[in-house]
Amino acid sequence: MRRAAFTLVELLVAVALLVVVSVLTFTVFSTVSRAWQRGTELSQDLHHGDFVVEQLIGGLRQARYRDRNDGLSLIDQGNGAAAQDSISWVKEGADLVGEDSPLAKTFHRVKFFIGTDKDTGKRGAVYTAWGDTYLQPDNFNPEDLPPQILSDRVVGFNVRVATNDFENDTLHWLDTWEDKIGAVDNQSNHVPRFVELTLYLKPLDSDLPPIEMKRWVDIPIANAGMK
């Protein structure tokens, strides 16, 4: 009586099928794993961007204007992902400076820009903050303050501001707040109606462009007529 058994050809076919199934399974798993990893990295980047944007929005909406020394200042340094603009204004509240800062309980000026954190050496979205200038010593220079980093995922920052163009009854968009609008000079001594913030985040791959995040901010005291 002959016993049933696999032939060599059948064994080779079975092994080949097992190899094909294993390769396909590994390929699918690897693809899903890479997609999950990239999705996680993108989510983290967007979280960093959202945090920085929300801090900026909160701080700008807390802008205060008592006299010409409290005006907003905007320095234009490029466009697009390479932009390295800086913006400075007087505010109150904890946005940017944090709840534990003594500045959170009084008027203070903040400056937001792309720079390098002194302690960590990381480059990204940073800020400096200081109290009223008249309370500072005579040799005080805000440029000497060490920047505090908010996120090292931000690589570019572009700002535009808008105010009323009374001659043409429309909004007038500016890349620098010192520009002249009609007969109005010294725009840096005022507060604009709107601020357009654009952050550029590090791309997931070096050959990809930075991730762009754009927000519009309305400034309450400007809309109330304090321009």
* For residue 116, pLDDT beyond 60: yes
* For residue 18, pLDDT beyond 50: yes
Position 30 confidence tier, pLDDT thresholds 50, 70, 90: low
Position 141 confidence tier, pLDDT thresholds 50, 70, 90: confident
What's the N-to-C CA distance of the chain in angstroms?
Answer: 105
Neighbours of 210 (CB within 10 A): 18
In percent, the amount of the chain with pLDDT more than 70 equals 78
Looking only at the bridges linking them, the beta strands covering 148-151 and 154-165 are: unpaired
* For residue 140, pLDDT beyond 60: yes
Which tokens in the block code for residue 149? Answer: 């980093």
Q: Mean pLDDT throughout 14-20?
A: 81
Which tokens in the block code for residue 53? Answer: 């944007």
Q: Mean pLDDT throughout 126-151?
A: 85
Give the DSSP per-residue string, 159-220.
EEEEEEETTTTEEEEESSTTS-BTTB--GGGS--SEEEEEEEEPPSSTTSPPEEEEEEEE-H
- The tens digit of pLDDT for each residue in 33-49 reads 565 565 555 556 657 77
Measured CA to CA, the distance from residue 123 to residue 117 in angstroms comes to: 6
Q: Mean pLDDT throughout 54-68?
A: 89
The reported pLDDT for the residue numbered 156 is 95
- The tens digit of pLDDT for each residue in 145-204 reads 999 999 989 999 999 998 766 566 677 888 887 654 444 444 445 788 899 999 999 887
The pTM assigned to this predicted structure is: 0.75
The reported pLDDT for the residue numbered 113 is 96
Contacts of 76 (CB under 8 A, 6+ apart): 85, 159, 175, 176
Instruction: Look at 49-63, 136-150, 165-179 and tell me which has the smallest mean pLDDT.
Output: 165-179
Please choose, from the candidates 86, 88, 91, the residue with its C-alpha nearest in 3D space to the C-alpha of residue 105: 91
